[in-house]
A and B are shown apart, each in its own frame.
Chain A
């Protein structure tokens, strides 16, 4: 039964501080171990690094105390822990290139991006006092989101890296606008769907026992579907396209509670993907590399073969149950071990045990986000939190599923861990938004304080809906 028990939350953040100490300790210890195992000495900047991470983590904690005192206490420590483990692995990959003519310095840059990301998250928390403000920008978000999606196609601005045209060069930095587009699109979907959920859910004809929506209600949805197909076709990026589509289908389902949307969405995507696999060699090659990964011809084919995927599997197998230990494996044998394949790198050095722990951390993050969505009172907040939490979980699924050969490999980044500024910034903004919504979800609502809470019954659900309605009227 769908019930919400309003429970009193004490405005204290002691749990968060305790977990934060653990998370920071984990990141710093991992960083130190990488240095000790690979060079026999602590990393040169260990103190600066530790001080910086502690300052950022505690800074975020203080911002939350001041600006979102009721916010969820688990989300921030989990994000900090994942970010720290990712940083340690990126530093480890850097160390394996010290003999090169130009050793990579991904870790330093990633540390910079972490700082910018966490400061950006703090700014979002300070500037955005109420997440419902975002609803006013529903269609602005759509324009911004579509603009960001299509930005790499602008001549002179977009760049093609490894076959995918999803990058924008700006002031010497490569950015992936799609990472930010997913936030904008989540805001648009939430705003659009909370307004139109009834028409989408109720109007339309029944086919095969399922309610299908009217064509004219589908307008904006078709636009977004076309955009996600454009990503697939014009930017040659299966992963981003899949991510947008998954986000959209999930939010449609949340808004309308109609399984027909899931059915329709999957049908449209599978149709599109099948057509793409037939028409575009790069998509077909991905499928071939997935199904026949161990075939010698596919393995040796370059580019477009399964070499990277299978080498990642070799790495994970080498790690076995308990891993080789930080710095003791050879994750650097896999191309893009610091970004797309950081999961394989972690699987090799931390073993199945470590990888499962990391997956559980992501699961906790996503479930705290979904719990926030259940707890928040307004429909827009529910959709936004649900959508953002799902998009993080779904991105993990697409990335880890691809690396472990559960699904075809697509070029997405692992949230918080993979090397890349855009991804890190976008995910810290998502964390800030989830924290903001959770503050509102757990804040004792003035309307509810007068209630003597009845035992949980079906009436709760109606209360919630009534409150939602009130919120809408107020705007």
Chain B
């Protein structure tokens, strides 16, 4: 029996070698992958053991870590939580992190590569490692004005400085209080999160960048840009029938309220934009073709990834529309989708003489000694239109607010340039009200986009001009009052 005993000894050795290999695989080869797994709460515990850096807006921390006496040493606290939640996001032991808390996590925890020197210093001075602070570009007065103006309506407001790309306001309603998700009691956080996640109004979503809407008539800015770039002028006459039959289909396009666009059969490009003439722009879209429209849309930032530093949902122009679909796309319907930030970027590019600046939220990163580690430097995203086209578009948008559909955005003593939009969604639901604008028109300080879902408080009676334009005006006034 000794031969099988010896063989069995070898089998036993083989079993233990297999166990040692498995342990090595887990503790050495796979260790960093396992440590980086977002479900690994040990990583969170390690993070919570250190003081996380604050998120600062205008010198005041809106998210900060306070020492607590439980398993995690620090708890996150949010000042004015719902107002800034779309920007800060939340930081939860149970559900991880979103917003800036997520996008700037390695800086806030102090583990970013750029903070290597600070960590080495901590090692030698024996100081407890601390996270760095992140200062945002948000202006609390503008944020508050947008929040108040939107009121209890579902929607989003985003405002930015067209000359730098700095985001001044990012409001999404309904919102939520990140404090209730930052607690350390798992059952309480679970209940609160379930409630928010199951809420049909999606309070956890930042509508300015995480939601796309049909842009409706605000997309006519893209059509007009394509037309001007193709050699037309604001005075070019466009066919503008009362009803436009779409070739190859039984569908027709008519104007808002079934009105005519002018006394004759044609209107000028500038006049069509001023009164937001659907038939003229649908015909223009068909004439230019879907390739030209897509090229112009993509020049403005459609179909492209963007980080601000949170990842922005991609705005879309349909890939291969037929002729009637192109006509519908030209008036911002069919499968055209845009984030509110995307439409603000269209206005911002026009405001900035055709040069589009990359939008950003993080102004300064400071280490715990308050030394500046990183400072935002405005960068160019692209040049979607020429300076001449931008000027022509600006003048046409001024006319929209002065004499057209956007009159409710008028501010005495300030020239506002804007464009309204009223986007149909489904037959039953009220349309989304849009407005995008910039001001002052001759020396722009702010570009803004507003969307109010399903007409807001006005419902089916809503238009971009009646519902969204006054909100944009409030935001512009807040910026100009600085």
Contact = CB atoms under 8 A, between A and B. Distances in A.
A67 interface: no
Interface residues of A, number: 55
Interface in A284-315: 294, 296, 299, 310, 313-315
Contact of A352 (B8, B12, B18, B24): B24
Contacts of B45: 330, 333
B34 interface: yes
A405 interface: yes
Interface residues of B, number: 34
B27 A316 contact: yes
A404 B2 contact: no
Contact of A320 (B12, B22, B31, B40): B31
B13 A367 contact: yes
Nearest to B46: A318
A185 B42 CA distance: 43
A404 B25 contact: yes
Contact of B1 (A296, A315, A320, A379): A379
A405 B30 CA distance: 12
B26 A313 contact: yes
B5 to A, nearest CB: 5
Contacts of A363: 12-13, 16
Nearest to A362: B16
B20 A356 contact: yes
Nearest to A296: B39
Contact of A355 (B8, B27, B35, B40): B27
Given A2-B6, A397-B19, A318 B25 contact: no
Contact of A318 (B2, B13, B22, B35): B35
A321 B3 CA distance: 38
Given A319-B27, A404-B22, A370 B3 contact: no
A212 interface: no
Interface stretch (A145-153, A388-396, A446-454): A388-396
Interface string B39-61: 11110010000000000000000
Given A355-B27, A400-B22, A367 B2 contact: no
B369 interface: no
B184 to A, nearest CB: 13
Nearest to B3: A2
B37 interface: yes
Nearest to B9: A370
Contacts of B23: 316, 347, 352, 355-356, 359, 400, 404
A125 interface: no
A400 B17 CA distance: 12
Nearest to A372: B5
Contacts of A359: 16, 19-20, 23
Contacts of A464: 2
Contacts of A386: 1, 5, 8
Contacts of B195: none
A393 B15 contact: yes
A431 to B, nearest CB: 17
B18 A401 contact: yes
B24 A253 contact: no
A382 interface: yes
Given A2-B6, A333-B42, A400-B22, A367 B12 contact: yes
B26 A390 contact: no
Q: DSSP class of A's interface residues: helix, strand, loop or mixed?
A: helix
B6 A317 contact: no
Contact of B27 (A3, A321, A330, A406): A321
**Most chain A beta-carbon neighbours within 10 Å: one of B1, B18, B41:** B1
Given A257-B1, A330-B45, A383-B1, A366 B20 contact: no
B2 A314 contact: no
B4 interface: yes
A352 B27 CA distance: 6
A335 to B, nearest CB: 13
B136 to A, nearest CB: 32
A435 interface: no
Nearest to B26: A316
A394 B26 contact: no
Contacts of B13: 363, 367
Contacts of B16: 359-360, 362-363, 393, 396-397
Contact of B2 (A2, A294, A356, A405): A2
A118 interface: no
B12 A390 contact: yes
Given A253-B4, A254-B5, A374-B6, A317 B12 contact: no
A404 B26 contact: yes
Interface string A1-26: 01110000000000000000000000
B28 interface: yes
A404 B19 contact: yes
A370 B26 contact: no
Contacts of A347: 23, 26-27
A320 B25 CA distance: 10
Contact of B31 (A254, A317, A333, A393): A317
B8 A390 contact: yes
**Most chain B beta-carbon neighbours within 10 Å: one of A4, A257, A362, A397:** A397
Given A321-B28, A406-B19, A370 B5 contact: yes
A89 interface: no
B4 A461 contact: no
B8 A370 contact: yes
Nearest to B30: A317
B15 A394 contact: yes
A380 to B, nearest CB: 11
A166 interface: no
A135 to B, nearest CB: 15
Contacts of A316: 23, 26-27, 34
Interface of B: 1-6, 8-9, 12-13, 15-16, 18-20, 22-28, 30-35, 37, 39-42, 45
28 contacts: A2-B6, A254-B1, A314-B37, A317-B33, A319-B27, A320-B27, A321-B27, A356-B24, A359-B16, A362-B16, A363-B12, A366-B12, A370-B12, A371-B9, A373-B5, A382-B2, A383-B1, A386-B1, A386-B5, A389-B12, A390-B8, A396-B19, A397-B18, A400-B22, A404-B23, A406-B22, A461-B2, A464-B2
Interface of A: 2-4, 250, 253-255, 257, 294, 296, 299, 310, 313-321, 330, 333, 347, 351-352, 355-356, 359-360, 362-363, 366-367, 370-371, 373-374, 379, 382-383, 386, 389-390, 393-394, 396-397, 400-401, 404-406, 461, 464
What 9 pairs across the A-B complex have the smallest Cβ distances? A317-B34, A404-B22, A352-B27, A406-B22, A2-B2, A317-B31, A397-B15, A314-B40, A393-B12
